[in-house]
Structure 1
Amino acid sequence: MKIAFAASRAAVAQTARAALIGRYDDVPLEEADVIVALGGDGFMLQTLHDTQHLDAPVYGMNRGTIGFLMNIYGESDLVERLQAAEREVINPLSMTATHVDGSTSRALALNEVALLRAGPQAAKLQITVDGRLRMQELVCDGALVATPAGSTAYNYSAHGPILPIGSDVLALTAMAAFRPRRWRGALLPKKARVRFDVLEPEKRPVMADADGNSHRDVVSVEIVSDPEIEHAILFDPGHGLEERLISEQFT
């Protein structure tokens, strides 16, 4: 088994990479049967984005903080763990943002695409789903669309629902909604195309964020799941995303 090791800049991750290479050698990413990512969830997302053009699955080992997408770190039996690992496949969200100056930008997100107020006043957003206007005006600190894999991240912090892997739904969640005050968001089919239009963008500037990739001064954002792109993640048996999503709801 040819393994490529990638690590975050954190000293603990770099030390782990050196130790693992000493045991198992290392090959370039393009030659690997499997990629082992050492760091936290942020580095795991970065690795998945950076290697989406490769066929090799990614197996993460936690050298960060929470490590929801990571396995427990260990050096002695890595090959056996990789051979026994369970494979999960997730599709990213594709975001197209139009800016105040008329330009457009695009990004992919495995966790969520979030619209966030970028000034002192609350954002005013209009929400359209599959070409049909669903909410004329949402006054809030922001709103996001999350995948099942990302539903325990920012979405959960904003009191959004946890979505089981394979449920083929997306969560649309508001952050600190002022009007409608009690609106808790919506569950949408995975194939839904969501559009946010920013009302009063000059007075109430809004930024769009796709897995930490920020785009400022947006006037509209379209979000759709991209079934053509598949990210394969490996987990130790019994500790896959399905189990983690269930366990998270009982902690």
Structure 2
Amino acid sequence: MVEIKTPEQIAKMRAAGLVVAAMHEACAEAAQPGVSTKELDEIAAKVLADHGAKPNFLGYGGFPGNICTSVNDVVVHGIPDRETVLRNGDMISIDAGAIVDGWHGDAAITVFVGSGHAPELLELSRVTEESMWAGIAAVRKGARLVEVSKAIEGYIRRQPRPASGRYGIVEDYGGHGIGSEMHMDPHLLNYVDPRRRLGRNNPKLVPGFCIAIEPMVSLGTPKTHVLEDEWTVKTDDGSWSSHWEHSVALTEQGPLVLTAPDGGKAKLAELGVETAPDPLG
């Protein structure tokens, strides 16, 4: 069952989303050479405490961190620790979440550590982020969920191929419903699977529908494996990857990007999409 939210519930999710945005701002600024991923986790914990919010990652299925810190060929679910120290030239996905009054926010950004990154890495992150926005722009009343998947995949496939030969759209992980829990139905693929065009896997989008849109793209294979810690997900071929995510609510007035500081207004305006008013002003 897809959980449909009231305007009042969406306002609480917006409050949680703004905490996530603050976590990202603080962690991105701190992600410098010589900093451990555990230090980033401690910074995120302080932001949560300062806002009176709770972490939704910590303890989820036994996960030991407040955020996921996924470096280079780690796609998602990297565990923060003292041993993983950022180096100049690294790229890191910082996936963060927060709970406010029982309602969840969840988003991820890709951050470049230091300088001197190869152009194809910069382009990888750009393509992944822009595909996320293409998916967000497809969140409209009366659309089907598969149209969001189609928009994400379509944007990626239209881009010039990288020197590695292809962009790998990670197959085993995708977006998800969000609200009173962090992960809820429906599951959102970042590509089109013809078998999911009908039924419960392809619901119609209506006001109150909330979804976390999160493409994960590598410079090689779409295939991944999980390490012995039962969390860390790496690409099978060791290619580096990018991960971007926003939580989005559909309202009567259009989409509201719950985890973007401006609600997604500026970026969606570039795409010709009118956003909903911010319930928090």
TM-score normalised per structure 2 = 0.26
**Which structure has more strand as a fraction of its residues?**
1
TM-score normalised per structure 1 = 0.29
